[in-house]
A and B are shown apart, each in its own frame.
Chain A
Amino acid sequence: GQSLEQPSEVTAVEGAIVQINCTYQTSGFYGLSWYQQHDGGAPTFLSYNALDGLEETGRFSSFLSRSDSYGYLLLQELQMKDSASYFCAVSPYSSASKIIFGSGTRLSIRP
């Protein structure tokens, strides 16, 4: 089976840097994605790591290490609008069309 574990809550200060981790137990997958969901809104796609290493998109970066069964989302120069829930997701080799999500991390930003 597959499972993706994330911390349930993270709190950070405006302007700081925060890392949200995703550890997984899965037999194999195509890549690791991250989604953002504001309260009352729909999840929206942020990033995708097909290969190990760091992918940077503006203030957000995402990292994957398949050997360590681990990935993370890094948010820099935090803004109040970054307060949201963040989910990691994978498509397993066993079923390429399937997308499974982690339990989600609620990020709270303090002024």
Chain B
Amino acid sequence: DVKVTQSSRYLVKRTGEKVFLECVQDMDHENMFWYRQDPGLGLRLIYFSYDVKMKEKGDIPEGYSVSREKKERFSLILESASTNQTSMYLCASSFGGETTEAFFGQGTRLTVV
């Protein structure tokens, strides 16, 4: 089975802190994604990566950056956390190409206080 693992299930951080969310997948997938999920807004794409060191902005990249130094690992970075970044963050991965079958991690509930 494909496994996508997010480093933390729950996080509480202070405003202004630099926050790292880590995601690891074990199926050699080319594509990896970071979404945030808020009630009524669905899954909004923050960033995605289609290869090591390659990344593209999604629909809501402001305030975030990403890093993909190894194929299996994709990190989301909040440069200076703010309260409006309190949310559920979901990592996903998929095979290369146009497939839309993605496999998700369990999510990280981030609270910024």
Contacts and interface: CB of A to CB of B under 8 A. Distances in A.
Given A8-B40, A48-B100, A48-B101, 5 more contacts: A30-B100, A42-B90, A42-B105, A97-B30, A103-B42
7 contacts: A41-B106, A89-B100, A97-B50, A97-B96, A99-B92, A99-B100, A101-B44
B33 interface: yes
A interface bracket (residues with beta carbon within 8 Å of B): 20 to 34
A21 B99 CA distance: 21
Interface residues of B, number: 30
A96 B98 contact: yes
Contacts of B42: 87, 101-104
Chain B CB within 10 Å, residue with most, of A41, A43, A95, A104: A43
Interface of A: 8, 30-33, 41-45, 48, 87, 89-91, 95-104
A2 B45 CA distance: 12
Interface of B: 30-31, 33, 35, 40-45, 48, 50, 56, 58-59, 90, 92, 94, 96-107
Contacts, number: 71
A96 B56 CA distance: 12
A42 B90 CA distance: 8
A36 B69 CA distance: 31
Contacts of A87: 42-43
A103 to B, nearest CB: 4
Nearest to B99: A91
A101 B43 contact: yes
Contact of A98 (B41, B44, B48, B106): B48
